[in-house]
Structure 1
Amino acid sequence: MTHRIALITDSTCDLPRKYLDKHDIQVVPLTIVWGGEQFLDGVDLQADEFYQRLAVDSTIPTTSQPTPQQMVLAYEKARNAGAEELLMITISSAMSGTYESALKASELVEFPVQVLDSRSNSMSLGWQVLAAARAREEGGNIQDMIRAADNARASMVYLITLDTLEYLHKGGRIGDASHFIGTLLNLKPQISVDHKTGTVAGGRRSRTRKKALADLYKDFFAQVDPAKKLRIAVLHNAALEEAQELAGKIEEEFQPAEIILSIVSPVLGVHTGPRAVAICGYSEP
């Protein structure tokens, strides 16, 4: 289906393919660099394959944002398909150079492109993109789409429990002392996204995985309004059974308007490592 307004995002959105197809959302992949090879996220390297290799490969993968030229190609593809204007919603500018690439690319084309910083990633970005898509489907203009994404972000809560500090340490996100103490005590750290600054913040550390998942559940629902319409995603890095159990518990206790179960993209998994589990969602105003 061709829309007058094209909606584009990047591969960190973690939206399952059926949502991308249903809502006509175009995705620009980031890149994983691993052992001298380069893989387009979700194109050359799928999440399941990535986590299997991550568990046994001692080589540390890195990531890179799309170039402005890659963004231009995505914009031109949408334009050639009949779009008159474009909305690009990206991963937080504080987490990646993707936003800057998208902005630079918007200056290199001769048709209107608006670039929105989601100030987040994963399904927090995904929920904002879906909100924009639904505003478009209701006949909204590009400002209505941006407003819908902003409204979703305003009450968004995104908490992640990690199984290990190893990958944050490998990626330079925490120092040697924090890594040593956390590993020594086998702590399971919880992190969150600050949607005002677009940065990752530290949280509690639990002594066991069972306690960490219980804390994740409790802490998330302490920050949303269950009396309102809830849209919730449960995400995992090769921890499907635990994510399914968590999603089932949420459905039974809170009956959200929408719940999505998804695997975290390789580009994000580079930093969180295998067996991370997250809850991300918001209550509609």
Structure 2
Amino acid sequence: MKKIKIISDSTCDLSKELLEKYEIDIVPLYVNFNEESYRDLVDLNTEKMYRLVEKYNMLPKTSAASPGDFYKIFKKYLDLNYQIIYIGIGSKFSATLTSAYTAKKMLDSEDIFLIDSLNLSSGIGLLLLKAAKYKEEGLSAEEIKEKVDELVPKVRSQFVIDTLDYLYKGGRLSALSALMGGVLKIKPIIKVRDGTMKVGKKARGNIRKGIDLLINEFIQLKDNIDEEFVMITHSLAYDSYLYIKDNLKEISSIKNLYETDAGCVISSHCGKGTIGILYIMK
């Protein structure tokens, strides 16, 4: 059996430690300010991105990894006699998966397996960790793809947004909605379902009220949640992370509760203070 290499992109929001532990390689997307282009998490981190937003008073444009980016990394591992499994940002959020398919076609290889996560952020990360576990168990690349494909619709990604400015500036919210949301201090819950973002419940007041909605939903569903991996992912919201962690610590069934930081691409769309709880249903 050939060796297996798992690859993702920079939107998976897994920590450096997890990427190294499970030997997952990353293809960066791009964050663009006017004529300046940065590779997500290579040339630019989230804190620096927010400083540039303030400096230029504008949001960056994000762009997909190119077919050439994928060709380079795919060929590297094919030449080393690996089979490749790529799990990245959902096809409805980015053209990145299309680039991966183009590279696969260019290489004309049956040893490249592409999975549409229909998700973003550590919703992708959860699938990567499952794939890494299956790899450790000795499953073939074909078997890993089959099992991960079955998990895709079971991933639950939801975030509470602290500021509506980024959704408005990014064209995902009308000016009136942004204004009313600011006046009423609305903190919407954004959920990823079927490969798209949908608005769930809305809290009014400070962000803790929105976080409590996430926590309460998790507690209600806990008996039906796969306890192996649970993610708390945030964009410079460490205090909120500690609050969630403290509230979930009594749920002893959780085997691995990970904190991860939202990268530049994800943060550029949701804004500072955003935080989410992500998990897989049984």
TM-score, length of structure 1 as denominator length: 0.91
Change (3 A) 1:227 1:13: closer
What is residue 269 of structure 2 aligned with on the other side?
Answer: 271
Cα deviation 1:129-185 (Å, max 9, x = unaligned): 111111111111112211332343343211100001110111111222322221221
- For 2:201 and 2:37, the matched residues in 1 are separated by 35
What is residue 233 of structure 1 aligned with on the other side?
Answer: 231
- For 1:227 and 1:110, the matched residues in 2 are separated by 39
Deviates more, 1:129-138 or 1:226-235: 226-235
Deviates more, 1:50-59 or 1:202-211: 50-59
Aligned-CA RMSD value: 1.8
Change (3 A) 1:144 1:221: farther
Secondary structure of 2:81's partner? Answer: coil
- For 1:128 and 1:253, the matched residues in 2 are separated by 22
> Which stretches of structure 1, 4 residues or more, deviate above 6 A after TM superposition?
none
Cα deviation 1:184-235 (Å, max 9, x = unaligned): 21211111000xx200010111112221111121123334426753421001
Secondary structure of 2:250's partner? Answer: helix
Task: Give the residue type in structure 2 aligned to 1:205.
Answer: K
How many residues in Structure 1 have an aligned counterpart in Structure 2?
Answer: 279
Secondary structure of 2:273's partner? Answer: coil
Cα deviation 1:23-51 (Å, max 9, x = unaligned): 11111000000142111001001223323
What is residue 119 of structure 1 aligned with on the other side?
Answer: 118
The 8 Å contact of residues 68 and 103 in structure 2, kept in 1 or not, is answered as yes
- For 1:238 and 1:53, the matched residues in 2 are separated by 15
Deviation at 1:241, TM superposition (A): 1.7
- For 1:210 and 1:38, the matched residues in 2 are separated by 35
The 8 Å contact of residues 91 and 98 in structure 1, kept in 2 or not, is answered as yes
Secondary structure of 1:134's partner? Answer: helix
Alignment of 1:152-231 (within 5 A): 152-194=151-193, 197-208=194-205, 209-225=207-223, 229-231=227-229
Secondary structure of 1:179's partner? Answer: helix
What is residue 95 of structure 1 aligned with on the other side?
Answer: 93
What is residue 247 of structure 2 aligned with on the other side?
Answer: 249
Which runs of no fewer than 5 residues in structure 1 stay unpaired?
none
Deviates more, 1:95-104 or 1:252-261: 252-261
- For 1:156 and 1:117, the matched residues in 2 are separated by 12
The 8 Å contact of residues 127 and 152 in structure 1, kept in 2 or not, is answered as no
- For 1:148 and 1:28, the matched residues in 2 are separated by 23
The 8 Å contact of residues 231 and 257 in structure 1, kept in 2 or not, is answered as yes
Deviates more, 1:218-227 or 1:182-191: 218-227
TM-score, length of structure 2 as denominator length: 0.92
- For 2:21 and 2:32, the matched residues in 1 are separated by 31
Deviates more, 1:53-62 or 1:65-74: 53-62
- For 1:214 and 1:91, the matched residues in 2 are separated by 27
Task: Give the residue type in structure 1 aligned to 2:149.
Answer: D
Secondary structure of 1:107's partner? Answer: helix
Deviation at 1:62, TM superposition (A): 1.1
Task: Give the residue type in structure 2 aligned to 1:20.
Answer: L
Task: Give the residue type in structure 2 aligned to 1:198.
Answer: G
